[in-house]
Amino acid sequence: MTNGGRSKLDWDRLKVFQAVAETGSINAAAGPLAMSYNKVSKDLEALERTLGHQLFDRSNRGLELTAVGEDILRSARSMADTVQAIVDRAGKHSPDELVICAREGIATYWLARRLPELLQLQPDVRVFLKVLPTTPNLSDGDGDIAIQFEKPLMANVVARQLGWLHYVPYAAPQYIARHGEPKAMCDLQSHQCLRLSGAEYQPECWEGAATAWGAILPNTMGTDAGTVLMEACASGAGVAALPSYVSEFDDRLAPLTSIKPLASLRFWLAYTERVRNMEASAPVLHWIRSCFDPARYACFREIYVPPKRKNNDRAPLTLVPQADVELSRNGYQNGHAQSPGDEA
């Protein structure tokens, strides 16, 4: 399609090009973009046709920018900075408010329950907890800070690994009483299993488990919402694969620890350079790190620690002990968190 004799330039395809150029490969860019390899490849080819120039030299060694590609990349970065400046000035949210992006489960069951800790440390802080079903694009204004399952590779985004999530089978005690407790993956073939769709992040970690899990789920309930999955499991509807941090707050569910974890996924804290330079962001970043501190919560350690099974009563929400709050205050002084350095 043309406009005044000129081809229209698709901004989304330009962002795809920038991601591939900065990460060095289509595979590496596909994850953060929440796109398939084929979609990224087709968008690149379409952009090259629109511009009438080859942007990459393709060889067995990978992709290398052509001279035209180098020039377009500089322009794309400049455009991205301009868009971000417009977003900042437009004030999609209050200038004093930090938008934290997270998946539904982490936002609902982990961060929201720990907001009192942040308010004890910084009573005047203002945050907006934004739930997204896919990996956010902080460079494109999706938010200020993100907790995500894809390592961000954009040049203007800072990344720090927070920890690991270990997915294990859970069932409600009343379900186990009615149907018995499965002791191995093969036992699940005779059980009612619940499935969460759309968990496409880090697919390589799910390959073996997903094959087995999918084979035993021909006629079971599925959902695209983590909260629905968890509530269905807690009601006794069946067995579900849930992150082991569930045992930290909900005694309605019993971990089936005889079965090995189905998958172990890394997750990251991400934020833009602009956020790193904001004074108001320091206590928030410090709080997020403390929420997922493996020394404080064994469920986030790289080495899987089987969760303990508790009684059937739902665990009450427990605020961080005052001693921990005082330690946190000592770790955050004069608006600067004292923590290990960030990795770009």
Cα dihedral 136, 142, 143, 144 sign: positive
User: What are the tens digits of pLDDT across the range 26-77?
Assistant: 888 887 777 888 888 888 888 888 888 888 888 877 788 888 888 888 887 7
Could you give the residue range(s) of every CATH 3.40.190.10 domain in the chain? 97-164+266-300+314-337, 167-260
Tokens of 189: 């073939």
> Whole-model pTM above 0.85?
no
What pLDDT shows up at residue 302? 92
Residue with more model confidence, 25 or 300: 300
Separation between Cα atoms, residue 241 and residue 265, nearest integer Å: 13
Closest CA to 339 of 302, 298, 293, 299: 293
343 pLDDT more than 50: no
CATH of domain 167-260: 3.40.190.10
- In the block, tokens 């020394």 appear at 295
Kindly indicate the confidence band of residue 1, based on its pLDDT and cuts at 50, 70 and 90.
Answer: very low
Kindly indicate the confidence band of residue 135, based on its pLDDT and cuts at 50, 70 and 90.
Answer: confident
Considering the domain 2-90, what is its CATH architecture?
Answer: Orthogonal Bundle (1.10)
CATH of domain 97-164+266-300+314-337: 3.40.190.10
Residue with more model confidence, 216 or 158: 158
301 pLDDT more than 90: yes
Buried b (16+ CB within 10 A) or exposed e, 55-91: bbeeeeeebebeeebeebbeebbeebeeebeeeeeee
Kindly indicate the confidence band of residue 175, based on its pLDDT and cuts at 50, 70 and 90.
Answer: very high
* Most confident among 107-116, 125-134, 309-318 (mean pLDDT): 107-116
What stretches of 73-225 adopt beta strand conformation (E)?
97-102, 126-131, 145-148, 157-171, 193-196, 222-223
Kindly indicate the confidence band of residue 238, based on its pLDDT and cuts at 50, 70 and 90.
Answer: confident
What pLDDT shows up at residue 326? 43
What pLDDT shows up at residue 310? 63
Could you give the residue range(s) of every CATH 1.10.10.10 domain in the chain? 2-90
- Asked if residue 125 lies in contact with residue 107, where contact means CB atoms within 8 angstroms, the answer is no
Tokens of 264: 């172990």
What stretches of the chain adopt beta strand conformation (E)?
2-3, 6-7, 56-59, 62-65, 97-102, 126-131, 145-148, 157-171, 193-196, 222-223, 239-243, 254-255, 263-272, 332-333, 336-337
